[in-house]
Amino acid sequence: MKPGIHPDYHPVVFQDSATGDAFLTRSTITSERTVRWSDGNTYPLVVVEVSAWSHPFWTGTRRIMDSAGQVEKFHRRYGTREGRR
């Protein structure tokens, strides 16, 4: 790689705002906030709204749509067309 053309890639702590869980990884993102990690070092802290700990897909709390109920709601709202198959 050519020197001087790539952004600074450094350790950063990402924290989920909903659950408080945090993980240390490397990133080019910067932040004014810092946090002391379990290894004793201080790292930039980036607070995120959604992570694997709070995302509905990964936590298994997905909303299951009642597709039959949605079809009935559509027919109530817009009616049905007779003679069309």
Residue 1 in domain: no
Residue 34 in domain: yes
- Is residue 47 classed exposed, middle or buried when 0-12, 13-18 and 19+ CB atoms within 10 A define those classes? middle
Domains in the chain, number: 1
Residue 14 in domain: yes
Residue 58 in domain: yes
Helix (H) or strand (E) holding 14: strand 10-16
Task: Give the residue numbers spanning the domain of 63.
Answer: 10-78
Residue 23 in domain: yes
pLDDT reported for residue 57: 65
pLDDT reported for residue 62: 56
Q: What is the pTM of this model?
A: 0.61
Q: What is the pLDDT of residues 38-58, one digit of tens each?
A: 999 999 999 988 887 777 665
